[in-house]
Amino acid sequence: MPFNTESKPVALKDTDLFKPLKVGNTTVLNRVVLPPLTRMRAHYPGNVPNRDWTLEYYDQRSKRPGTMLITEGVFPSAKAGGYDNAPGIWTEEQMVEWKKIFDKIHENESFVWPQLWVLGREADPLSLARDGLRYDSASDNVWRTKEAEEEAKKAGIEQHGITKDEIKQYIKDYVQGARNSIKCGADGIEIHAANGYLLNQFLDPVSNKRTDEYGGSIKNRACFTLEVVDALVDAIGEDKVGIRLAPYNTNGDMSGSWDPTVFAHYAYVLGKLEKRAQAGKRLAFVHIFEPRVSNPWDNEGDGAYNGGTTDYVYSIWKGVVIRTGNLAIHPEIAKEFLKQPNTLLGYGRYFISNPDLVDRLEKGLPLNLYDRPRFYAMPDKGYIDYPTYDEAIKMGWGEK
């Protein structure tokens, strides 16, 4: 894959992107973050991180000392999952592989935060039915799409609005996942409350039709997410807990910008997180998906929502903010974001194709294009074979 020639690289070495920042118990030496990037290369059965390639993949992207990596989504339990080739962190077999990976990242003097991911109605109903697991969400049979309904019914599985006891069991799963992550050496964890997965399904009125204390109002729809936050803070400490939110997300058929009342949910959650912070329990970070990427499935530049921003986050949350969304080819926006204090920048797709992205952003070097069809495919091609800049030049990339 050649270099991206559409956007002119800009050296960011003189910006705050290369100033240290305290994040929980860590101090990053640059503010570039590898955000959660699902790659679908875990072994099935077992949801075990790929023993042949995944250590290399994270080693390559943590070489620059002091870099923060958030892992791809990991399931804290079997019922949290429903994708055969995504990894978990609930069995000994999975934890053995993660410990090797986390040790390697620390050997490179970088930091690692697994993302705890519960799919809900985003799961593959066929996998769940095969494994005798429920197809869970906030409400019974509030289907993402007609096709999803047909797919589930063909698999003979109904979509189940989880009970209050089942909510409490999921909270225990998150706690166990967090404890396992710390046991494997992680610096903390990120709660995935974005992109249409279970916690987002509770937050969003389009999927949450409950009439109990977990539905029917902004406060009630935020309750599950905040209970997970509190349980994890109790279990591993606030400085080891971060959370990802995507106010404009449409992935998983969430409201995104369709419903103007949806943003109030995020202002409410942020406000409750800030009140907890002011009471002495400040989370390590809040990670925000920018409206420039309203759906991660969209191709670069497609699907941008230009009718709003996430700047309001700073009016409410006074802690560390990670902002992710199509920044690699918009250095001018990155520089604008960096004017806000306590801000780190997540670079997703171009960190896939540039293992040495931090160096390239510092120096303003051209970026390897990425091979999108291989984002979520099994082979090692398009995973650990992207060259560093020096390797690419030796291979003749960039020559006219």
Ligand X SMILES: C=C(C)c1ccc(C)c(O)c1
Residues 6+ apart with CB under 8 A from 104: 55, 58, 59, 62
Nearer to ligand X, 15 or 326 (CB): 326
Binding site for ligand X (CB under 6 A): 36, 38, 73, 117, 195, 251, 296-297
Q: Tokens 């020559």 — which residue? A: 399
Given a contact cutoff of 8 angstroms between Cβ atoms, the answer to whether 196 and 122 are in contact is yes
305 is catalytic: no
Taking the alpha carbons at both ends of the chain, their separation in whole angstroms is: 14
* Cα dist from 25 to 21, 68, 135, 285, whole Å: 11, 12, 37, 11
CB of 223 to ligand X, least distance (A): 22
CA distance 236 to 229: 11
CB of 399 to ligand X, least distance (A): 33
CB of 174 to ligand X, least distance (A): 15
How does 311-344 read in b/e, with b if 16+ C-beta sit within 10 Å? eebeebbebbbbbbbbbbbbbebbbebbeeebbb
CB of 349 to ligand X, least distance (A): 10
CA distance 192 to 89: 15
Is cis: bond before 45, omega within 30 of 0?
Answer: yes
Nearer to ligand X, 36 or 114 (CB): 36
Nearer to ligand X, 4 or 195 (CB): 195
CB of 143 to ligand X, least distance (A): 18
Residues 6+ apart with CB under 8 A from 56: 384
Q: Residue 147 CB: number of other CB atoms within 10 A?
A: 9
CB of 72 to ligand X, least distance (A): 7
CA distance 213 to 372: 42
CA distance 142 to 188: 33
Nearer to ligand X, 210 or 265 (CB): 265
Nearer to ligand X, 15 or 137 (CB): 137
Catalytic residue, from 197, 214, 347, 383: name it. Answer: 197
Q: Tokens 């396992």 — which residue? A: 180
Strands 189-192 and 68-74 come out as unpaired
CB of 249 to ligand X, least distance (A): 9
Q: Tokens 């250590």 — which residue? A: 55
> Which residues are part of the catalytic machinery?
197
